[in-house]
Structure 1
Amino acid sequence: MTGYDTEYRPTGNKVTIPSTPMTTGLAGTYTYASAYTPTGKVQSVDLPATPGGLAAEKVITRYDGEDSPTTMSGLAWYTADTFLGLYGEVLRTASGEAPRRVWTTNVYDEDTRRLTRTTAHRETAPHPVNTTTYGYDTVGNITSIADQQPAGTEEQCFSYDPMGRLVHAWTDGNSAVCPRTSTAPGAGPARADVSAGVDGGGYWHSYAFDAIGNRTKLTVHDRTDAALDDTYTYTYGKTLPGNPQPVQPHTLTQVDAVLNEPGSRVEPCSTYAYDTSGNTTQRVIGGDTQTLAWDRRNKLTSVDTNNDGTPDVKYLSRNAVRAT
Structure 2
Amino acid sequence: MPTRTAGLDQYVSGSTYTDFGQPSRITVGASSNQAEVMYSYEDETLRLSERTISRSQGLGPVVDKTSYAYDDAGNPLSVSDTQSESGNALVDRQCFRYDSLARLADARTVSGDCATGTVSSGAGAYWQTYEYDAIGDRTKLIDHATGTGSDVTTSYTSGCSASCNRTGAQPHTMTATTGERTRRASSTTWPATC
TM bucket normalised to smaller: 0.7 to 0.9
In structure 2, the partner of 1:13 is: none
Tell me, yes or no, if structure 1 residue 166 matches structure 2 residue 100.
no
In structure 2, the partner of 1:243 is: none
Tell me, yes or no, if structure 1 residue 274 matches structure 2 residue 192.
yes
Higher relative contact order (CA 8 A, sep 6+): 2
2:172 to 227, 235, 250: 250
In structure 2, the partner of 1:232 is: 154
Tell me, yes or no, if structure 1 residue 156 matches structure 2 residue 94.
yes
Residues of 2 paired with 1:236 and 1:121: CA distance?
A: 47
Give the secondary structure class of the aligned counterpart of 1:274: coil
Percent of aligned pairs with the same residue? 34
Tell me, yes or no, if structure 1 residue 196 matches structure 2 residue 121.
yes
Residues of 2 paired with 1:251 and 1:207: CA distance?
A: 18
Residues of 1 paired with 2:177 and 2:129: CA distance?
A: 16
Partners of 2:161 and 2:171 within 8 A in 1:
no
Residues of 2 paired with 1:162 and 1:122: CA distance?
A: 43
Give the secondary structure class of the aligned counterpart of 2:190: strand
In structure 2, the partner of 1:222 is: 145
Count the aligned residue pairs: 185
Q: Structure 1: give runs of 5+ residues left out of the alignment.
A: 1-67, 181-188, 241-245, 281-324
Residues of 1 paired with 2:51 and 2:121: CA distance?
A: 23
1:130-149 aligned at under 5 Å gives the runs 130-149=64-83
In structure 2, the partner of 1:72 is: 5
Residues of 1 paired with 2:121 and 2:10: CA distance?
A: 37
Pair 239,112 (structure 1): closer, same or farther in 2 beyond 3 Å:
closer
| Cα deviation, residue 224, structure 1 | 4.2
Residues of 1 paired with 2:56 and 2:157: CA distance?
A: 52
| TM-score normalised over the length of structure 1 | 0.53
In structure 1, the partner of 2:131 is: 208
In structure 1, the partner of 2:23 is: 90
Q: Which has the larger radius of gyration?
A: 1
| Cα deviation, residue 132, structure 1 | 0.6
Give the secondary structure class of the aligned counterpart of 1:202: coil
In structure 1, the partner of 2:165 is: none
| Cα deviation, residue 92, structure 1 | 0.3
| Cα deviation, residue 252, structure 1 | 1.7
Residues of 2 paired with 1:102 and 1:81: CA distance?
A: 11
Give the secondary structure class of the aligned counterpart of 2:191: strand
1:298-309 aligned at under 5 Å gives the runs none
Which amino acid in 2 is paired with 1:268? S
Partners of 2:161 and 2:170 within 8 A in 1:
no
In structure 1, the partner of 2:63 is: 129
| TM-score normalised over the length of structure 2 | 0.87
